[in-house]
Amino acid sequence: MVAGDLKMMLPPHFPCQLLGFDISGRVEAVGSAVSTLRVGDEVIACLQGLQTGAFAEYAVVAQGQAALKPRSLSHAQAACLPMAGLTALQSLRAAGVDRRARPLTVFLQGPLGGVGSVQLQLAARHFGVTRTIASVSARKLAQASELFGQLPGVEMACYSELAPAKQFAQQADVVLHTAGSIDEVLPIMKKQSAAAAAAAHAAAPSSAHGGAMVPKPMTVSVCTIPSGAECELFGTPMPWLVRKVLDLADWNTRRKARAHGGDYSFCFMLECTADLALLASLADEGKLCPVVAQTFPLQRTREAMQLAQEGNLAGKVVIQMVPE
């Protein structure tokens, strides 16, 4: 967003609104129609429909975007959860991790990133993925291994030494793309013959959510370009030509995924109280622990954003309104 990559989807309006999506705090007042939250409740929230404003002492949140804060986490830790956690959970589901046959191999990136660190913990501790390969830079390998290397089935792989497409070619049932070029991760999907696809389909357990089974290897990206139709889900009005260009780019990525024997889809995070509540309960069960890189007071927000953008940090940067 800072680099202007989302300009087409989210044109800036001046004067700019406040930045920041994620909130952890205490409810100070509620509207007359609010039924699920009370004054004094400690909550986490992801601000609605990309309407930002979390970098402030007060923010207005719809009850459908908030859930009770996990009791076991500090506000600084809890504030790392909403957007990254929802993106991680929903991308794993979009890849059908909950309805695929075991053994199951998942490849993901950035185990110390906001999204990647939650994907990794959910894969290993919530979805029971048999093998989770986490691709990390040399500078973060030691810390990632120390934090998450002991989780069941987790392997850390250093992408600075050898490209993952070479190290893990055709090894993963699911590839979660959060960084770099999608072309570098598509070859990691298993190449499945029609016969193998049919066998995997037959072996997959029924979906607890009633959705279709997804036996084909799949890449889910949270960082490529969404299609024009997906952008319009957010109500972003866009010229016909721009929509067509985005649709074409999306079609092209799907085509490339098919050439590697799998499927591809982009995943947009959706605010959802039920998913936030699930993340909070997993945190309280000790299955999910957000990684806080550093906290800053509100006055140092610019510095915090610069640090986050440089990408050297392990974990999330948090802006704290009051010391805990």
Ligand X SMILES: NC(=O)c1ccc[n+]([C@@H]2O[C@H](COP(=O)([O-])OP(=O)(O)OC[C@H]3O[C@@H](n4cnc5c(N)ncnc54)[C@H](OP(=O)(O)O)[C@@H]3O)[C@@H](O)[C@H]2O)c1
Residue 255 CB burial class (10 angstroms; 0-12, 13-18, ≥19): exposed
**179 is a contact residue toward ligand X (CB under 6 A):** yes
Q: What three-state secondary structure class fits 119? A: helix
**262 is a contact residue toward ligand X (CB under 6 A):** no
Which of the stretches 23-31, 82-90, 202-210, 283-291 binds ligand X when contact is defined by CB under 6 A?
82-90
Q: Min. distance of Cβ 198 from ligand X in angstroms?
A: 32
CA distance 160 to 185: 14
Closest CA to 109 of 180, 186, 162, 161: 180
Which of the stretches 110-118, 207-215, 244-252, 295-303 binds ligand X when contact is defined by CB under 6 A?
110-118
Residue, CB closest to ligand X:
113
Counting residues that bind ligand X (by CB under 6 A) gives 25
Which of the stretches 30-38, 120-128, 265-273, 295-303 binds ligand X when contact is defined by CB under 6 A?
265-273
The residue within the footprint of ligand X, chosen from 67, 182, 267, 283 (CB under 6 A), is 267
- Of the pair 37, 176, the CB lying nearest ligand X is at 176
The residue within the footprint of ligand X, chosen from 25, 82, 85, 113 (CB under 6 A), is 113
**290 is a contact residue toward ligand X (CB under 6 A):** no
Q: Min. distance of Cβ 88 from ligand X in angstroms?
A: 8
Q: Min. distance of Cβ 110 from ligand X in angstroms?
A: 3
Structure token digits, residue 116:
């990647």
- Of the pair 22, 192, the CB lying nearest ligand X is at 22
With tokens 């999608």, the residue in question is: 182
Give the count of alpha carbons within 13 A of 160, CB side only. 7
Burial 148-176 (b: 16+ CB within 10 A, else e): beebebbebbbbeeebbeebbeebbbbbb
CA distance 207 to 189: 22
The residue within the footprint of ligand X, chosen from 24, 109, 132, 192 (CB under 6 A), is 109
Q: What three-state secondary structure class fits 151? A: coil
CA distance 272 to 288: 18
Structure token digits, residue 97:
């991790």
Site string for ligand X, 39-78 (x = CB under 6 A): ----------------------------------------
Number of residues in the chain: 324
Which residues contact ligand X (rule: CB under 6 A)? 83-84, 87, 109-110, 112-116, 135-137, 139-140, 159, 178-180, 222-223, 267-269, 311
